[in-house]
């Protein structure tokens, strides 16, 4: 029985690994993830499905992502684009979370003059921060505005200093200099070192995936509007979701073949 | 003319002083004082890079008129043209180098580069082009006994490279499906024309201000340069017309918005007053009217005006395409000064550009005064 995005539960028959049923979609996706990780990387096809009817525009995913990846000011991986549609009295609002589409045919990849951005075997488009020269050619090549440049700013810049190490700028800066763990290694913010001076973007939280966890935005989404999993697994929730007529992808006509699907 | 030179030196000194501050700020504070962000991700320096490397490629093409095709009227101008190629190329490359996020990693483009990237091809291409130009200049000096065919071969290869590279700069933008304003076949075709146009304007200015007026061919040279600049300006304007009218007629929103941004947006005055008025209409009038262009300083000023128009045109190619959101309402999705769709260069960006311009001008003035071989063999 196919599961519609309206339902928060899935049929027990489709989640052999699940310990109980009915099941929360997060648990279902967690089980899907576990199954996918047992396959070789090139047999996985990570995709994200976002149900626009369920998104309430709370931006919890945006903030979850900022916290998970310790994003500095001006760097955002998953903004939620808000649009007002119609005229009074027929007015509504649409919320469109926009992560990197992890395009199957990514225009950002061939333009890179030093091969710093490339597609992994599982389809995720990765950036090697230590290779990137910061030319920003890939930023101009992305049709979705999904890449941002790290100017090296911190949120605590220009904030008041207080005595001691618990309050004030130095305390906040200690926190801001903490490393993030993108791509499975620690990236402390020190001087001009990468990722400062590099282009950055959503990477489907590779570091979490490889530790068996769903992307931060998926677990943070309060509307359960974001789904994640392996499209090559016919039993996965995402495979079912994208086999519906109300699915669309952004700017498909450009031939980028995005791996982020929207349910309308 | 002494007062004129002093005036230029004064301008150069101010520009270099400002540039020293700008480059110091860039090297010590990174990109934090620049006004470009993650949406308008390329700014003044990229536009100036396109401008200067465009002149360099065009100037090499001009040099071939003397050194390869042996046009009698231009005999003796080749060396100076090669020298101008080198310094304008340097100005362009310094601009783009300072624009990088990691200046120290430039070597990666050479040793770990991606030759399928147009940018990678351009970096390699311009490096080879620079070396080739320096070699050609060396060959023209007759310091070594080298056969004449060698210079001919070098100039032929250089000419091919100059065309390829100026077109490739257009392709750098043109290959991008994300920006309909750039993604037109006309782009790589326009750029070689822009290159020759801007190079001839520079040579006209240099020749009118500093050229050997005692040379019997001088008046005719100025006339030919002036008419050539006018013709190229008309072709350039035709390209702009073709580009903009097709975009407006076609009605693809991102395209129309970009054209409207150029013509009626925040910086409409840059297009109408600087690019069209100062950069095209006024110089065309000056250069077409024999009585006006007979005043050599006026012809030189017209050359400078055309260059200003080209510089603005380069900016009007780079910025507008980037000021149109890839997805509607993206501008309001996440608030940060770096996530804006409007842009005006910061004081630091202007200072760096002025500094590079000052250094380039100083290099020319010093070399022209002290390197005898740059002088036209007017006695001949
Ligand atoms: S959305 Fe943009 S950054 Fe992400 S893979 Fe596609 S082109 Fe590249
Ligand atoms: S900014 Fe970095 S990843 Fe992007 S094209 Fe330049 S070198 Fe490649």
pLDDT at B328: 87
B271-299 burial code (b ≥16 CB/10 A, e <16): beebbbebbbebbbebbeeeeebeebebb
Burial of residue A247, with CB atoms counted within 10 A of its CB: 0-12 exposed, 13-18 middle, 19 or more buried: middle
**Band (B186; pLDDT cuts 50, 70, 90):** confident
**In this structure, are residues A176 and A72 in contact, taking their beta carbons and an 8 Å threshold?**
yes
Model confidence pLDDT, tens digit, residues B30-61: 999 999 999 999 999 999 999 999 999 999 99
**Band (B380; pLDDT cuts 50, 70, 90):** very low
> Is B42 in contact with A136 (Cβ distance < 8 A)?
yes
Q: Which residue of A has its CA nearest to B116?
A: A110
Over residues B334-354, the mean pLDDT reads 95
Encoded tokens for A21: 């049923």
In total, chain B counts a number of residues equal to: 380
**Band (A2; pLDDT cuts 50, 70, 90):** very low
> Is A113 in contact with B178 (Cβ distance < 8 A)?
no
Encoded tokens for B26: 């860039």
**In this structure, are residues B43 and B343 in contact, taking their beta carbons and an 8 Å threshold?**
yes
- Within 10 angstroms of residue B214's Cβ, the number of other Cβ atoms is 8
- Ligand 2 atom closest to the CA of A133, numbered from 1: 7
> Is B176 in contact with A107 (Cβ distance < 8 A)?
yes
**Band (A14; pLDDT cuts 50, 70, 90):** very low
Model confidence pLDDT, tens digit, residues A212-258: 999 999 999 999 999 999 999 999 999 999 999 999 999 999 999 99
- CATH number (1.20.1630.10, 3.30.465.10, 2.60.40.10, 1.10.3720.10) of B7-374 reads 1.20.1630.10
Nearest to A133 among B102, B176, B322 (CB): B102
**Band (A143; pLDDT cuts 50, 70, 90):** very high
Distance B180 CA to ligand 1 centre (A): 17
pLDDT at A21: 53
Comparing A4-13, A211-220, B85-94, which segment has the lowest mean pLDDT?
A4-13
Q: Is A151 on the interface with B (CB under 8 A)?
A: yes
pLDDT at A13: 44
Nearest to A134 among B101, B329, B330 (CB): B101
> Is B38 in contact with A96 (Cβ distance < 8 A)?
no
Model confidence pLDDT, tens digit, residues B236-248: 999 999 999 999 9
Model confidence pLDDT, tens digit, residues B209-231: 999 998 999 999 999 999 999 99
Over residues B156-182, the mean pLDDT reads 95
Which one of A46, A103, A105 would you pick to mutate in the ligand 1 pocket, going by the greatest count of ligand atoms within 8 A of its CB? Answer: A103
pLDDT surpassing 80 at residue B337:
yes
Q: Which residue of B has its CA nearest to A153?
A: B32
Over residues B67-83, the mean pLDDT reads 95
pLDDT at A24: 86
Q: Which residues line ligand 2 (CB under 6 A)?
A: A 111-112, 114, 116-117, 127, 132-138, 199
Nearest to B32 among A114, A151, A199 (CB): A151
Q: Is A61 on the interface with B (CB under 8 A)?
A: no
Name which of A135, A141, A198, A258 to mutate to probe chain B: the one with the most chain B Cβ atoms within 10 A of its Cβ. Answer: A135
pLDDT at B285: 97
pLDDT at B139: 93
Q: Which domains does chain A have, with CATH numbers?
A: 20-157+170-263 (3.30.70.20)
Residue-averaged pLDDT of chain B: 94
> Is A140 in contact with B109 (Cβ distance < 8 A)?
no
Which one of A46, A77, A96, A100 would you pick to mutate in the ligand 1 pocket, going by the greatest count of ligand atoms within 8 A of its CB? Answer: A100
B329/A153 Cα distance (integer angstroms): 24
> Is A149 in contact with B112 (Cβ distance < 8 A)?
no
B5/A252 Cα distance (integer angstroms): 59
> Is B116 in contact with A110 (Cβ distance < 8 A)?
yes
Model confidence pLDDT, tens digit, residues A170-208: 777 777 888 999 999 999 998 889 999 999 999 999 999
pLDDT at A171: 73
Q: Whose CA is nearest to atom 7 of ligand 1?
A: A142
ipTM, two decimals, is 0.93
Determine how β-strand A260-263 pairs with β-strand A46-51: parallel
Contact residues, chain B, for A55 at CB < 8 Å: none
pLDDT at A213: 97
Q: Provide the 8-state DSSP code for B213.
A: T
pLDDT at A166: 64
Model confidence pLDDT, tens digit, residues B296-311: 999 999 999 999 999 9
Sign of the Cα torsion B260, B264, B266, B270 reads positive
B133/B60 Cα distance (integer angstroms): 8
Distance B245 CA to ligand 2 centre (A): 34
pLDDT at A176: 83
pLDDT surpassing 80 at residue A18:
no
Angstrom distances, CA of residue B142 to CA of B72, B147, B201, B380: 20, 10, 29, 16
Residue-averaged pLDDT of chain A: 90
pTM for the full predicted model: 0.92
pLDDT at A167: 66
B219/B77 Cα distance (integer angstroms): 14
For ligand 1, whether the C-beta of A112 sits within 6 Å is no
Distance A126 CA to ligand 2 centre (A): 11
Model confidence pLDDT, tens digit, residues A25-82: 999 999 999 999 999 999 999 999 999 999 999 999 999 999 999 999 999 999 999 9
- Within 10 angstroms of residue B263's Cβ, the number of other Cβ atoms is 16
């Amino acid at each position: 029985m196919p599961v519609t995005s309206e339902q928060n539960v899935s049929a027990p028959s489709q989640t052999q690994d699940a310990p109980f049923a009915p099941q929360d979609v997060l648990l279902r996706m967690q089980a899907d993830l576990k199954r996918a990780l047992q396959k070789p990387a090139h047999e996985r096809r990570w995709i994200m499905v976002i149900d626009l009817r369920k998104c309430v525009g709370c931006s919890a995913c945006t903030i979850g992502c900022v916290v998970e990846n310790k994003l500095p000011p001006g760097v955002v991986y998953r903004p939620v684009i808000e649009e007002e549609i119609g005229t009074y009295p027929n007015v509504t609002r649409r919320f469109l979370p926009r992560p990197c589409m992890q395009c199957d045919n990514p225009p950002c990849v061939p333009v890179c003059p030093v091969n710093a951005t490339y597609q992994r075997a599982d389809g995720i488009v990765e950036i090697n921060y230590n290779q990137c020269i910061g030319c920003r050619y890939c930023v101009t090549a992305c049709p979705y505005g999904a890449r941002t440049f790290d100017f090296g700013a911190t949120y605590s810049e220009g904030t008041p200093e207080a005595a001691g190490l618990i309050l004030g700028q130095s305390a906040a800066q200690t926190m801001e200099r903490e490393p993030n763990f993108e791509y499975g290694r620690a990236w402390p913010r020190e001087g001009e070192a990468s990722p400062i001076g590099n282009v950055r973007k959503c990477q489907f939280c590779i570091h979490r995936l490889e530790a068996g966890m769903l992307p931060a935005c998926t677990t943070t989404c309060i509307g359960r509007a974001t789904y994640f999993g392996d499209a090559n697994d016919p039993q996965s929730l995402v495979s079912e979701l994208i086999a519906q007529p109300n699915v669309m992808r952004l700017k498909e006509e450009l031939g980028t073949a995005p791996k982020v699907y929207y349910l309308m | 003319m002494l007062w004129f030179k002093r005036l230029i030196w004064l301008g150069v000194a101010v520009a270099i002083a400002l540039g020293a501050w700008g480059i110091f700020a860039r090297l010590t504070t990174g990109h934090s004082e620049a006004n470009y962000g993650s949406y308008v991700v390329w700014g003044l320096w990229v536009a100036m890079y396109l401008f200067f490397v465009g002149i360099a490629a065009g100037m090499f093409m001009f040099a071939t008129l003397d050194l390869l095709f042996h046009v009698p009227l231009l005999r003796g101008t080749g060396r100076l043209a090669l020298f101008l190629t080198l310094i304008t190329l340097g100005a362009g490359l310094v601009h783009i180098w300072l624009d990088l996020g990691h200046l120290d990693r430039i070597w990666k483009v050479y040793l770990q580069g991606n030759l399928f990237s147009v940018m990678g091809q351009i970096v390699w291409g311009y490096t080879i082009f620079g070396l080739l130009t320096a070699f050609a200049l060396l060959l023209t000096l007759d310091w070594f006994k080298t056969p004449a065919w060698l210079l001919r071969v070098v100039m032929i290869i250089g000419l091919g490279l100059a065309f390829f590279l100026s077109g490739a700069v257009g392709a750098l933008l043109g290959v991008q499906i994300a920006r309909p304003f750039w993604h037109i076949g006309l782009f790589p075709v326009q750029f070689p024309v822009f290159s020759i146009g801007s190079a001839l304007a520079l040579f006209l200015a240099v020749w009118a201000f500093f050229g050997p007026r005692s040379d019997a061919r001088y008046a005719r040279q100025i006339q030919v340069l002036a008419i050539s600049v006018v013709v190229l300006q008309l072709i350039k304007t035709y390209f702009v017309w073709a580009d903009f009218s097709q975009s407006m007629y076609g009605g693809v929103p991102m395209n129309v918005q970009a054209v409207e941004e150029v013509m009626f947006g925040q910086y409409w005055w840059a297009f109408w007053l600087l690019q069209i008025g100062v950069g095209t209409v006024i110089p065309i009038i000056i250069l077409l009217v024999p009585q006006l262009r007979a005043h050599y300083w006026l012809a030189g000023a017209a050359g400078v005006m055309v260059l200003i128009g080209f510089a603005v045109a380069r900016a009007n190619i780079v910025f507008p395409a980037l000021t149109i959101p890839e997805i509607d309402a993206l501008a309001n999705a996440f608030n940060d000064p770096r996530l804006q769709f409007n842009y005006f260069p910061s004081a630091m960006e202007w200072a760096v550009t002025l500094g590079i311009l000052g250094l380039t001008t100083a290099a020319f003035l010093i070399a022209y005064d002290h390197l005898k071989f740059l002088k036209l063999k007017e006695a001949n």
